[in-house]
């Protein structure tokens, strides 16, 4: 009787959910997205009783308006796209949603985004190839600063053996403001990029350590257990926006020193000196990489910054005012930004500043790209082969 009551409850609950769900028509033949041989892409959404649907994406800065046919299916087709991996989502009468016909979605990037692949030679560097693959490992820990429960994702290269008498280099790879610690593997394809570079003999095998870079997210602390830990640290996460850049940099710097680096060095066979450590990131993570990297030459001798906003040159004063020491301390300072990125002004200005100070660095400006993973993947692929060569 108890099992029957349970089944009845599940059946009634499912019926209620179905009745109250958005009325998406049963369209078994609807395909979305559909990538055509000419690299155009068609999106479809079977949702008759709405007034407007647009596609937002990282393949264009403009909204792509969809039109509805006589069967209630909205659709739109792009111009031919460059081979790459793209993110997109729908805005339906002002409501944001991923593509319900596409299960390749990811969270923690401002909205839930769907993903699609336009194959081609230009995108092969980030494709899943039939080569040896590394592993992704997750480690949870409690912040010693505020009691937040946090996760760090660690990539180990193909052939990594925890029992072997060999140490590996480490790249600490940071995400941006509206992302999280799995962004670089979900959308950035960092693990597959590294797999392919190693298979082609272009990169030194290394671990990639990807932490959560923020003090807290708006959702942090909803579990009673987490609330109790945070209360013991006198910390109450804000339901609003993220903290200031200075606060985020200070927090991450301490978190790296007290938690993230110790996790990597206690659990993995890694070298423990600056010559075998790199720090890089995009957007806010790029600003953090520059600030932390320049403040700690004893920890990092390689720095990468993609699409970084201006955060004040005073953070780099020590490095800027002693070019001879800086050039000796750092084997590589790699900077890059898309030409259509709002951060391009900051990148150009910093390139000129470093040049005027006589500080060795590499600056790449790529026309036609904006502030998204379509260029950050390319930059990671270009920077990694330069790491750990000295």
Q: What are the structural domains of the chain?
A: 22-120 (2.60.40.10), 131-386 (3.40.50.1820)
Residue located via tokens 């260029």: 375
| 18-65 pLDDT tens trace | 333 344 444 457 999 999 999 999 999 999 999 999 999 999 999 999
For residue 233, the model assigns a pLDDT of 77
| 138-161 pLDDT tens trace | 999 999 888 888 999 999 999 999
For residue 390, the model assigns a pLDDT of 78
Regarding beta strands 362-366 and 149-156, do their DSSP bridges make them parallel or antiparallel, or are they unpaired? unpaired
Mean pLDDT for back-to-back runs of 10 residues, the chain (390 residues): 37 36 55 98 96 96 96 97 96 95 84 93 96 97 88 97 92 93 96 98 98 79 70 69 75 93 97 97 95 96 92 78 96 97 94 95 97 97 95
Q: In the chain, at which residue ranges do the beta strands (DSSP E only) sit?
A: 34-35, 41-46, 53-57, 64-65, 67-68, 73-77, 84-92, 95-97, 105-109, 111-118, 135-142, 149-156, 169-174, 206-210, 277-282, 302-306, 332-338, 362-366
List CB contacts of 175: < 8 A, sequence separation 6 or more: 181, 183, 184, 210, 212, 213, 281, 282, 285
For residue 314, the model assigns a pLDDT of 72
Tell me if 278 sits within 8 A of 169, measured CB to CB.
yes
How wide is the angle at C-alpha 252 spanned by C-alphas 176 and 384, nearest 5°? 55
């Amino acid at each position: 009787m108890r099992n029957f009551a349970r089944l009845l409850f599940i059946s009634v609950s499912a019926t209620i959910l179905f009745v109250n769900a958005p009325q998406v028509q049963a369209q078994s033949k609807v395909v979305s997205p559909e990538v055509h041989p000419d690299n155009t892409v068609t999106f479809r959404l079977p949702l008759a009783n709405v007034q407007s649907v647009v596609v937002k994406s990282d393949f264009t800065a403009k909204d792509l308006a969809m039109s509805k046919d006589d069967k209630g299916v909205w659709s739109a087709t792009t111009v031919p796209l460059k081979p790459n991996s793209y993110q997109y989502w729908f805005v339906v009468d002002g409501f944001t949603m991923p593509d319900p016909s596409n299960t390749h979605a990811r969270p923690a990037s401002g909205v839930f985004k769907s993903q699609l692949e336009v194959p081609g030679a230009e995108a092969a560097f980030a494709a899943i190839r039939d080569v040896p693959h590394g592993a992704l490992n997750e480690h949870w820990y409690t912040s010693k600063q505020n009691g937040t429960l946090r996760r760090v994702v660690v990539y180990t290269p193909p052939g990594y053996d925890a029992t072997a008498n060999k140490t590996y280099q480490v790249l600490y790879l940071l995400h941006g403001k509206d992302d999280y610690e799995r962004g670089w593997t979900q959308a950035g394809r960092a693990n597959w990029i590294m797999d392919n570079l190693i298979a082609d003999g272009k990169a030194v095998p290394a671990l990639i350590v990807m932490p959560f870079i923020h003090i807290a997210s708006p959702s942090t602390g909803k579990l009673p257990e987490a609330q109790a830990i945070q209360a013991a640290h006198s910390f109450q996460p804000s339901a609003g926006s993220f903290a200031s850049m200075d606060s985020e940099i200070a927090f991450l710097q301490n978190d790296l020193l007290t938690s993230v680096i110790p996790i990597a060095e206690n659990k993995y066979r890694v070298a423990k000196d600056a010559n075998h450590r790199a720090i890089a990131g995009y957007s806010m993570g790029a600003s953090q990489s520059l600030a932390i990297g320049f403040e700690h030459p004893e920890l990092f001798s390689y720095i990468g910054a993609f699409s970084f906003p201006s955060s004040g040159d005073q953070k780099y004063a020590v490095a800027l005012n002693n070019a001879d020491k800086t050039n000796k301390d750092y084997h590589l300072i790699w900077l890059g930004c898309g030409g259509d990125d709002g951060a391009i002004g900051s990148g150009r200005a910093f390139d000129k500043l470093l040049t005027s100070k006589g500080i060795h660095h590499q600056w790449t400006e790529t026309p036609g790209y904006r502030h998204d993973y379509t260029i950050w993947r390319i930059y990671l692929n270009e920077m990694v082969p330069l790491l750990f060569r000295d």
